[in-house]
Structure 1
Amino acid sequence: MSAETPVCQLLDRQDTHYHDWLWVAPPADDWLQHAGGQLMSADHSLLADWQARDRRAHSPFVDSPPAPPGVVLFWPKTHALGEWWLLWLCARLEPGTPLHVVGENQGGIKRVLKVLAALGLGCRKLDSARRCSLFASRLDRVALDPDDAWTRFEAEGLHLVSHPGVFGHGKLDEGTRLLLSRLDAGLPQGGSALDMGCGDGILAAWLARRGHSVTAVDVNGFAVESTRRTLAANDLPGDVFHGDVYSGLGQRCFDAIVSNPPFHQERAVDYGPAARLIEEAPRHLQPGGQLWLVANAFLPYPNLLERAFGTFEILADDRRFRVYRAVKR
């Protein structure tokens, strides 16, 4: 099987036998499963795909780490997230385990040289092609704790906990701020509410503080853990699930669905999750239930809302963001 992504194409031409190695935070590429490795990822969609094919797949927040013969870390576009993965691997896997780090040049892979040097880990360049680079090192114990990457800050009178790779890391997104200002006046208190794409948990915590019975979902395991920590930091109740849009919720229905949906997958624009959020929302709302969305003004959501609900309102438009509300009749 041929590799599809540039980083996997670079790995495919190596002499290294990657069977049973641990693929850490990789892209979706069937070549990885064909090569015989095992997965470590915080992405629910990727984990579910591997598990559906009876492949070994692990979450850093659920499973005990395996003891692989080697590790390939796919460097993410969020530099601080790549550093966290390095620290996590050094803290949890055996010292001396071979480590390969691969990534696209435009994604900052060349900065890995300085990161590894700062951690006292040796490094050498193995190969470069397809505008990607591959470096080799070995894991070892380092003085830094990966848990130090968790960030605490305050917004809207709430204590928020965030992590590199989570949307709006370390600050309140302006679109979310606009959404909250309209929710405060337009959404009745109480009832059941679903925070879809929960991020650091600001919406879930805000809703729970106002008496809603809250459920929160995110495809990103770091966001799920952030939301759980945010709710705990504010002594607020809520159920938080690792899932892809409505997967895992069954036939559950809510009085309100609230979201600041993503439209990027790494650097690519991807309307798929937001489209599913809107199109399937009526099936997960009680009669009279409301869908609240905030989105960049240029995004093509009005057509999706009209198709799913028949009608909708624009409650705010500051030329950057719009707040939409649609009601299930």
Structure 2
Amino acid sequence: MSAETPVCQLLSRQDADYRGWWWVAPPRDAWLEAGEGVAVSADFAVRAAWRARGRPACSPFAEALPETPAGAVLFWPKSHALGEWWLLWLCATLPAGTPLQLVGENQGGIKRVLKVLAALGLGCRKLDSARRCTLFATRLAPVDLPPEAAWTVFEADPGGGRLTLASHPGVFGHNKLDDGTRLLLETLPEALPAGEGAMRGNAGDVLDLGCGDGILAAWLARRGHAVTAVDVSAFAVEATRRTLAVNGLAGEALESDVYSALGGRRFSAIVSNPPFHQERAIDYGPAARLIAEAPEHLERGGQLILVANAFLPYAERLESAFGGFEILADDRRFRVYRAVKKRG
């Protein structure tokens, strides 16, 4: 089977035996998923794809990791700080001397790896380059900086009281309050009155879909709503759990590829600032599924409230899924949409 992505095309031409290796933060690629080794990924959808093929995959937050590998390949992510976290995690998790290869696209910053490795006291050599990608090799060694050092907290006041937010590289809104989320939070008090769900005693009252650092989940929980928060990223789910905990708030946070982990659960409201990027490419897939499948996960009269960049083509999708919608706010950069389930 031929490799599909440039980084995997580069790897596929290596004279290397990757049996028993870990593929760390891998992209979706049929060559990888049909090959050897174990996927270690914070992306729930990637792990599900591997498992669907009968291949082993785990999260870096798993209580029990697979057996120590013969080596590891780290796919350098778009977020340089996230790549550094993966390096620290590998150094803390695997034995000293474990072979490590690092691969990435040149325009994605892979060549900066040389400085990162040097700062950690790790040697490095270039193995190959092609398809505008580069492959480096090193060996792991103990470093003084623990992976936990990548976690930060910051304060935000979105209205209704200051919140402390846990943040991790690669999580949306890292160390700042996104302007679209701010507009959504300014709109929600009127659209979603405080405590409405909590007074009904509905444990799954409001769903925060694509929870990121947990600001929406925490804001909703503080206003008396019973909150379930989901995200495809294990980093986001962990950030949301930490955000709820540090603010003394209750809520459930789950890894989920859109609605995949929720079964037939229904909610009185779904709120979201959905993603539309996958690395550097625009990808409407998750947002399209969020809208199309929302009626199946709403009670009758339940509402979907989402914020999106004004240029994104969500109006037709909302019309198709709900038969109508309204715009609650529009500051020319972002729009807040609401659609209500009228039947079923």
Q: Same fold by TM (over 0.5)?
A: yes
Q: Which residue of 2 aligns with 1:34?
A: 34
SS at match of 2:100: strand
Tell me by how many angstroms 1:148 deviates. Answer: 0.7
Q: What corresponds to 1:218 in structure 2?
A: 231
Rounded Cα–Cα distance in structure 2 between residues aligned with 1:170 and 1:35: 38
Deviations 1:158-178 (A, max 9, x none): 110010000010000000000
Deviations 1:275-316 (A, max 9, x none): 110111111111111110000000000001111111111011
Aligned to 2:155: 154
Q: RMSD value over aligned CA atoms?
A: 0.8
1:8-47 deviation per Cα after TM superposition (whole angstroms, max 9, x unaligned): 1111111111111100001001111333111100000111
| Letter matched to residue 18 of structure 1 | Y
CA contact (8 A) 2:33 2:53 kept: no
Matches for 1:171-186 after TM superposition, within 5 Å:
171-186=176-191
Aligned counterpart for 1:235 among listed residues 248, 272, 287: 248
Work out whether 1:52 is the aligned partner of 2:52.
yes
1:324 is matched with which residue?
A: 337
| Pair 1:204-2:253 in alignment | no
List structure 1 segments (4+ residues) > 4 angstroms apart after TM superposition.
none
Post-superposition shift, 1:182? Answer: 0.5
Deviation at 1:188, TM superposition (A): 1.7
Amino acid at match of 1:237: A
Aligned-partner Cα distance in 2 for 1:272–1:117: 39
Which has the larger displacement, 146-155 or 184-193?
184-193
Partner of 1:138: 139
Letter of the 1:273 counterpart: P
- Which position in structure 2 is the counterpart of 1:4? 4
Offset at residue 189 of structure 1 (A): 1.9
| Secondary structure in 2 matching 1:116 | helix
Partner of 2:194: 189
CA distance in 2, matches of 1:229, 1:253: 25
Alpha-carbon distance in 1 for matches of 2:231, 2:246: 19
Between 295-304 and 147-156, report the one with greater CA deviation.
147-156
Aligned to 1:259: 272
CA–CA distance in structure 1, aligned partners of residues 64 and 87 of structure 2: 17
Alignment gaps of 5+ in structure 2: 198-204
Q: Is 2:178 the counterpart of 1:165?
A: no
Q: Which amino acid aligns with 2:28?
A: A
The Cα of 1:185 is off from its aligned counterpart by: 2.1
Structure 2 residue identity aligned to 1:135: F
Shift of 1:62: 1.5
Residues 42-63 of structure 1: CA distance to partner in whole angstroms, max 9, x if unpaired? Answer: 0001111111222111101114
Q: Verify the 8 A CA contact 2:38 2:55 in the aligned structure 1.
A: yes
CA offset at residue 186 of structure 1? 2.0
* SS of corresponding position for 2:149: helix
Q: Which residue of 1 aligns with 2:24?
A: 24
The CA deviation at 1:121 is 0.3
| TM-score (normalised: structure 1) | 0.99
Paired amino acid for 1:118: A
Q: Which deviations, in whole Å up to 9, do the C-alpha atoms of 1:116-173 show, x marking residues without a partner?
A: 0000000000000000000000001000011011110011211100100000100000
Q: How many residues align?
A: 329
Q: Distance in 2 between matches of 1:148 and 1:206?
A: 26
Counterpart in the other structure of 2:296 = 283
Could you tell me how far apart the structure 2 residues matched to 1:155 and 1:213 are?
21
State the shift of 1:212 in Å.
0.4
Measured after TM superposition, the shift of residue 217 of structure 1 is: 0.4
Q: What SS is found at the alignment partner of 1:262? A: coil
- Give me the identity figure in percent: 73
Query: Which secondary structure state, in structure 2, belongs to the residue aligned with residue 16 of structure 1?
Result: coil
User: More displaced, 208-217 or 26-35?
Assistant: 26-35
Query: 1:189-217 deviations in whole A, cap 9, x for unaligned?
Result: 22110000000000000000001010000
1:114-125 mapped onto 2 (5 Å cutoff): 114-125=115-126
In 2, the alpha carbon distance for the partners of 1:137 and 1:50 equals 27
